[in-house]
Amino acid sequence: MTIAIGDKLPDVKLIKAGEGGPEPVQSAEFFAGRKVALFSVPGAFTPTCSAKHLPGFVDKAAELKAKGVDEIACTAVNDAFVMGAWGKASGSADVTMLSDGNGDFVKALDLVMDGTGFGMGHRGKRFSMVVNDGVVEQLNVEAPGAFEVSSADHLLGQL
């Protein structure tokens, strides 16, 4: 069943792109006790993700934090090295890059996208959410090929 508002996030292992290299992170611990603006992209360095999605959250980081967000995180079905490189290339010091390299997180959320027709394999759908102490408060899942409801601006309007 697809994750919904009011649901607790599943506890899976993600990998944080840390300064010293990959760092394992349990999602239950990462989201516990704070409000997190989370967004997911189909892939690092892909056109819409690099030109609009991530830059929007970088640009709006201060506004999101002013509205009570403790942390902004981005996840994608890419390895931690790719996520770390993408974070550095985009100047996203305010966004924690979380690798869902095996797709375990998006599978547990039931938000998998089939990108095999584009040679991308199975990835995560484009979405954003507000997670408060591990519980989904807002959820915005894009239609295939769209970029409207998962933007930083849209999420700001929900806070």
**Longest Cα separation, the chain:** 41
Interior/surface letters 76-94, b for 16+ CB within 10 angstroms, e for the rest: bbbbbebbbbbbeebebee
3-state secondary structure of 14: strand
Q: Is 74 a catalytic residue?
A: no
d(CA 67, CA 111): 27
3-state secondary structure of 150: coil
What the block records as the tokens of 112 is 């998998």
Given 12, 14, 37, 49, which residue is catalytic? Answer: 49
Which residues are catalytically annotated? 49
